Amino acid sequence: MTDETEASPLIGRWRRLGERPAPATDESVPFGQDPGLLPGEITFAGSRFAAKASPGQGFTVWDVGSYRVDGEGLHLTLANDAWATYGLELGSDTLTVTDGSGHKTVYQHED
């Protein structure tokens, strides 16, 4: 879990890199695990986050809520208030989130 006394390496604003895949057209993908519905931008502050859709995206499964990081990865609340877990890799200025299907979405640190 993120320790309140030490700064999380996620703190700041992150922008999605690369093309956003089209959202799944069926309901076989669990809510929160469709890479086409992950946001274009996310800002982490303390134990909270706020996300924004990519231009023309419409809906994103991350909006605002709580998050934590532990040995299992990134846990955050979804738009339906359920918790979801994603694989997490941190580079020097990149954040890679891996969904349940194994798709990697890469974000670059903006500030």
pLDDT of residue 3: 45
Q: What angle do CA 2, 39, 28 make, to 5 degrees?
A: 100
> What's the whole-model pTM score?
0.88
pLDDT of residue 94: 97
Flag whether 74 is in a domain. yes
Flag whether 24 is in a domain. no
Flag whether 70 is in a domain. yes
Flag whether 4 is in a domain. no
What's the CA gap between 64 and 46, in Å, rounded? 13
Flag whether 26 is in a domain. no
For 32-76, what is each residue's pLDDT tens digit?
899 999 999 999 999 999 999 999 898 999 999 999 999 999 999
Flag whether 58 is in a domain. yes
Q: How many domains does the chain have?
A: 1
In sequence order, what DSSP letters do the residues of 13-79 get, joined into one string? EEEE-SPPPPPPSSS-SPTT--GGGS-SEEEEETTEEEEEPPTT----S--EEEEEEETTEEEEE-T
Flag whether 45 is in a domain. yes
pLDDT of residue 6: 58
For 2-40, what is each residue's pLDDT tens digit?
444 456 789 999 999 998 888 888 788 888 899 999 999
Q: What is the mean pLDDT of residues 75-104?
A: 95
Q: Which residue(s) pair with 66 in the sheet?
A: 48
- For 82, the domain range is 12-19+37-109
CATH of residue 81:
2.40.128
Flag whether 3 is in a domain. no
